[in-house]
Structures are given as C-alpha cells and as structure tokens.
Amino acid sequence: MENVLKEITPKSVDYSQWYVDVIKKADMVDYAPIKGFMVIKPYGYRIWEFIQDAMNRHFWATGHENAYFPLLIPEHLLLREAEHVEGFSPEVAWVTIGGGEELSERLAVRPTSETIVGAMYSKWIQSYRDLPVLMNQWSNVVRWEKATRPFLRTTEFLWQEGHTVHRTRQEAEQETHQQLEIYRRVIEEELAIPVIAGRKSAGERFAGAVETLTLEALMGDGRALQIATSHFLGQNFSRAFDIQFLDEDGVQKYGWTTSWGSSTRMIGGLIMVHGDDKGLRLPPRVAPVQIAIVPIARSGDGASVLNYARELEGALKPIYRVRLDDRPEYTPGYKYNDWEMRGVPLRIEVGPHDLKNRAMVFARRDTGDKTTVSRDGFEREVASVLESIQARLFEQATEYRESHRHMIEKLRDAEEYGYRGFFEGGWCGQDGCADTVKAETGMTIRCLPFEGQARGACVVCGQPATEHMLLARAY
C-alpha cells in the first residue's frame, strides 16, 4: 500500500510533479516522440468524449450543427485580418513543402479557424434568409508553445470552436452570452468545477475580437485557469472576408460574427481542482468508471464471493459504467489504491461476511467514508450516493475557491497571501496599471466579473475605479 502511494508526489511537496505523476499513473496520457505533443490514452480520452456529449446536447438544442473545416490555411487568408494574424503569428506552424516540392504559398497549420471559416461563409451567405449560420467543429489545432504541460498547454490540442454569423449586432451579442452560459453549465454541472464569468480587458482580449467573455476557475495551487471563452467579433472578420448579405430592406450589409471555444485543458482543470495525494477524484458524470467492485475472497469461499460480485455487476451494468476487479494476481489493498488513484467515485467491496448478510460496503472516493448497504434495493442507494458525490465535489471546490478569494485595496495586499488565489479590487481602466500588475506581481487581469461593481480606487494608482477586476497568476 505504501509503495503505491509513494509513486505520487504529494501536492504540498511539488505541485507540478504531483500533476505529472497523477496523469501518468492514472494512464491518461503519454508523451509523444515530438516535444510538446501528447498521446491521449483511452482513460483520458473517454473523459473528453463525455465532455463532447454534454456540449453537443446543448449545441444541438440551440440550433447549432457540427461541421469540419480544413487543417491547413493559405497564408493570404491568415493575413486578411491584421490584428488576428499579429496575435497568433509567434505560434503558427507553417507547411512549405508538399509532395517533395516547395509550395508557391505557405500553408498555416490552423491555430484557430476564423479565417478559413470566414472565407467559406463569404461564399455561402448571400441573403438575410441564409442567416443565422450556426456551426461548430470538433478538431485539433497547433500552436507552437515554448513551455508545455499535458492537457494544460501543448503544441497540439483538441478543442471545439464555434463560428456563427448573424443579421444584427444584438443577435450576435446574445449568441456570445448564450454560448458562455452553455460552457458554464457543462463545466459546473458535469465537471463540478465552479467558475467566475466576466469579460476580458482590452489587453487580454482575443486577437481581432470586439469583446471576449471568459470563465475563470481556480486550481488547487491557487493559480487561475481560463477554461472557456466566447468572442463577439463584431464586423471585423465580415469586412476582412467580405461576408455580406442582402437584407430585407434591399441594402447590402456585413454580417455580425462570433466565435467561441473550449479545449482539452478542461481535463487538466478537472485534475487540478479535484485531485488529491491519492490521485484523481472524478465527478461521476464524466468518470470513465463510475463504480469498481472489489471481491475480497479467502480460500474456500472465493468462488461464492466472486459470483455474488458478478450478480451486483449484472444489476448495475445496464445503468452505470461498472468494472468488476477480479484480477487474481493483486491483493484487495492494491486494488483499492489503484481505483482510488484512477478517481473512481464509488468502490463496492464484498467479502464472505457481506455474502452471508446479503450486503456490501460502499467506499466513497470524495470523502473516504465507508458504509454498509443491504443488497435489497441497493441500486437506489448507488444512484443517491453518486449524485451526492457529484454535488459534494462541486461544494468542496467552491469552498476552496471562496477561501482563496480576497478583496484588496492595494496591489501589495496580495503579497500577504503569496499571490495564491483570486484577488479582486478596483481598476482605473488604464493599460499602464494592468502592465504594472503583471510586471510587479506576475498576476494578470483574468476578467472583469459580471457580478462585480466598480467602487473605490484603483489598487495600482489610487485613481477612481471604473472597473471591478479579478486578478490571479494563471496557467
């Protein structure tokens, strides 16, 4: 038992190493032979599939359809929106040779798809009757990162990116807020991660956007993670790519566009928000294995106990994702630690005593509590416990965040907390003060929270505050 636990570095000793240990020991990813790339193994990818399923349900319910656009983008398209290409230029990977010959025009490996999507939309949209266009794609993107960490920041990662065109500014702005709310629901209700919603400051805005909305989550080491964003692009990309339509009044007009995205970094957030020194703790709704059944057999009664365990598995399997651990080469203690490391929400232990009493022991991953449950109607108890675990993980994460959320009057007040957590205070709105925050503390303005209200003075310069800001060091 001790040997298993020693394989994971405690969070308090080295948080970064703890994170790497967990994802490796839980068999979620492996490092690819190319620096900055990762292989997502089935246990990690299954979580991504659950996220996709949840997102798609919301997307389809709001009229969005999935499509797919090319991986390679001609350079002349990328250059058509100047602010956009400037924002992504350092991260773009280029293809210059194809079929053994030098290409006449470089092709960018997509860092994001606004440009290629815009070029296609300009062909497809002619009339107001063609609007709105509501499309999403699930794909990979490449951004050449210098410092990488699996799930959180890799050169290639998986994501979804939505791209829409609307007849009016109001419709596009509503879309931007609607998609942020969809993200919030999935992240809080499925992943059990509490978030703070707000808009980005001008200096943190998506390149080419008029407004960027964001969801910010607090990780277990007190750093922030931007976990999803939604962008109101105005008519910037419509003008750059000539996305026009003939309106009902007979006037040719430019469309109003949005884009919005979330990625596999949500899985990194899931690990860091809920994980502990034993490994993962997964919310039941996205856990690849929701229930692990561990038979505890002694010589002479092993077959009977195993048959009882199979009976329980058969009762649960039509409803839940269940794994019966009948590996004979491992002890029950090893199996307990193995499933705890993988974050399985509920473990059911059955031994000779349980067989005799037609009962079993429930072990919760979130609290470690154990209770004896009768075989009669145990399916109802399973449902209740899993819902309780889902809710409790969200409560624990919220309690942690709120205990690390501080109001400050002066920037130096954050030093008392080692710059760990969320810090809120007034901002005068000047870029110079935002730059000072970053230079002096390593923190950035994560967002201007919707729930916040400007009051008092700027925490940097002391001038009257025009905005309420959320500060943190971030991934």
Q: What is the mean pLDDT of residues 127-145?
A: 97
Tens of pLDDT, residue by residue over 152-205, are: 999 999 999 999 999 999 999 999 999 999 999 999 999 999 999 999 999 999
CATH class of 405-472: alpha beta
The SS3 assignment for 161 reads: strand
Is a pLDDT exceeding 70 seen at residue 431? yes
pLDDT at 298: 77
Would the CATH topology of 289-387 be identical to that of 405-472? no
Q: What sign has the CA pseudo-torsion 231, 234, 235, 236? A: negative
Tens of pLDDT, residue by residue over 272-301, are: 999 999 999 999 999 999 999 999 987 778
Tens of pLDDT, residue by residue over 297-315, are: 877 788 999 999 999 999 9
CA-to-CA distance for 130 and 125, rounded, in angstroms?
6
Q: What is the mean pLDDT of residues 382-388?
A: 98
Phi-psi region of 300 (alpha: psi -120 to 50; beta: other; left: phi over 0): left
Parse the chain into domains and list their residue ranges. 2-274, 289-387, 405-472
Q: What is the mean pLDDT of residues 246-253?
A: 98
Tens of pLDDT, residue by residue over 193-233, are: 999 999 999 999 998 899 999 999 999 999 999 999 999 99
Percent of the chain with pLDDT over 70: 98
pLDDT at 5: 46
Question: Are residues 312 and 39 in contact, defined by beta-carbon separation less than 8 angstroms?
Answer: no
CA dihedral 239, 242, 247, 249 (to 10 degrees): 70
Q: What is the mean pLDDT of residues 438-460?
A: 96
Dump the DSSP string for 105-152.
Answer: EEEEEPS--HHHHHHHHHHH--BGGG--EEEEEEEEEE---SS-BTTT
Question: Are residues 93 and 144 in contact, defined by beta-carbon separation less than 8 angstroms?
Answer: yes
Give the chain's mean pLDDT. Answer: 95
**CATH homologous superfamily of domain 2-274?**
Bira Bifunctional Protein; Domain 2 (3.30.930.10)
pLDDT at 142: 96
The SS3 assignment for 298 reads: coil
Block residue for tokens 């080419």: 208
State the CATH architecture for 289-387: 3-Layer(aba) Sandwich (3.40)
The 8-class DSSP code of residue 323 comes to E
Q: How many degrees, rounded to 5, is the angle at CA 90 between CA 85 and CA 93?
A: 90
pLDDT at 2: 40
Q: What is the mean pLDDT of residues 73-91?
A: 81
pLDDT at 6: 55
State the amino acid at position 180 in one-letter form: L
Question: Are residues 245 and 257 in contact, defined by beta-carbon separation less than 8 angstroms?
Answer: no
Dump the DSSP string for 81-95.
Answer: SHHHHHHHGGG-EEE
Q: How confident is the model at residue 85 (pLDDT cuts 50, 70, 90)?
A: low
